Homo-oligomer: A and B are copies of this chain.
Amino acid sequence: MTSRNCTEITFPVRYAETDAMGVVYHSNYIIWFEVGRGDYMRQKGWEYADLEARGYYLPVSELEARFLTPARYGDLATVKTWLDELRSRKIAFAYEVVKEGTGEVLAVGHTKHVCTDKMGHVRSIPREVRDMLSAEVS
């Protein structure tokens, strides 16, 4: 599932992210996907913050996630992120979250994004970003 050109970022589970079942509350994986995505962009040579500074936004239009094994406080989580789809005005990422050390898969997911301007109007993803990423999905 992660044979593609994925990036990896590892961080400790926060106590704030756990819930009364003693495990990480499910919506936090969606935030971890965002951490993975931001890191992916950074590693590929663009900062999402810079994109916004230039007036481009990539809000999430759709997401899905499956939860396989619960993470707990004390665990380190690694988010693997890769590009799933790249079009002129859309981009999609895929994620696999594993438990550092054991490699157990904790969760998998996808997010779809539409490129917009500050007002929410659809725009084309800047060409240099597309050029930079096109090699990733060939």
Residues of A at under 8 Å CB distance from B?
11-12, 14-16, 18-23, 25-28, 30-31, 34-35, 38-39, 47-50, 52, 57, 59-67, 70, 72-74, 120
Number of this chain's copies in the assembly equals 4
Q: Which residues of B contact A19 (CB under 8 A)?
A: 15-16, 18-20
Q: A39 touching B60 by the CB < 8 A rule?
A: no
Instruction: State whether A59 touches B67 (Cβ < 8 A).
Output: yes
**Structural contact, A31 and B57, CB atoms closer than 8 A:** no
Q: Helix, strand, loop or mixed for chain A's interface?
A: mixed
Q: A11-B11, A26-B30, A38-B15 are in contact. Are A20 and B73 (CB under 8 A)?
A: yes
Contact A70 B59 (CB under 8 A): yes
